[in-house]
Chains A and B, each alone.
Chain A
Amino acid sequence: MINVQQDDFVVADEYQKLADDNQDGAVVTFVGKVRDFNEGLGVQGLSLEHYPGMTEKVLDQIEAEAREHWPLNKVTIIHRVGDLALGEQIVFIGVTSPHRKAAFAACEFLIDFLKTKAPFWKKELTSEGSKWLEAKASDSETSQQWSTKLTN
């Protein structure tokens, strides 16, 4: 399931939906939150913009790619857009699999690729005004490392 939404999500509800199949021995979830610092500036909140239509397509592609590499059963990707306050949840990734290693790896793969491929943009509200976030070279290196790892 892929959802791009303004509303918050409840982790317990998402977990329940993921965990109701007894074929799966493993459920791995990741939640990304708005944290209070970035590059030395105090962050008070952020605003998330996306490219409606393309975002969903890219997330579908990333999910399909993960399914090519690992035996996954359920996959949930939720990403919020709009204005988010400090401490709020931004993103939820949940995967289930018969095996834990596949679930851990796929969850990490999904968030790493979401960060470098899906058209979302964060604008931070800091003590010195609002500022668009710069993409981190370390994030694209992480997703490149996956490509190397998975082709070897």
Chain B
Amino acid sequence: MIKVLFFARLREQLSTNSLQIPASEHMTTELIRQQLASTDELWAKVMSADSLLVAVNQQITDWSHKVNTGDEVAFFPPVTGG
């Protein structure tokens, strides 16, 4: 399984902190994004935001990053701390 996390505005819009999705061969961050976007209209809108960021195992990465079983994938908006 792959653990998927959502933070801040995304977490609120989707009413979801985290979920598990089954791992499959040749999985990437972009494929997970597309899979989640196909859930319904709301998810399609939230997951297609241009500003969306993705991290794999707590490291920011790009949309071609390979994802394996046991990985932690997080989606979130641009950061605004400090």
Interface residues of A (CB under 8 A from B): 32, 48-51, 53-54, 57, 79, 90-91, 111, 114-123, 132-135
Check B5–A51 contact: CB distance below 8 A: yes
A residues less than 8 Å from B78 (CB atoms): 134-135
Interface residues on B, range: 10 to 19
Check A79–B74 contact: CB distance below 8 A: no
Known: A91-B82, A123-B8. 18 other contacts (CB 8 A): A32-B82, A51-B7, A51-B55, A51-B74, A54-B74, A79-B81, A111-B82, A115-B82, A118-B79, A119-B7, A119-B79, A120-B81, A121-B76, A121-B79, A122-B80, A132-B9, A132-B77, A134-B78
A residues less than 8 Å from B79 (CB atoms): 115-121, 135
| Nearest CB in chain B: distance from A126 CB, A | 15
CB closest residue in chain A, given B12: A132
B residues less than 8 Å from A79 (CB atoms): 81-82
Cβ of B64 under 8 Å from chain A: no
A121 interface neighbour in B8, B51, B55, Cβ under 8 Å = B8
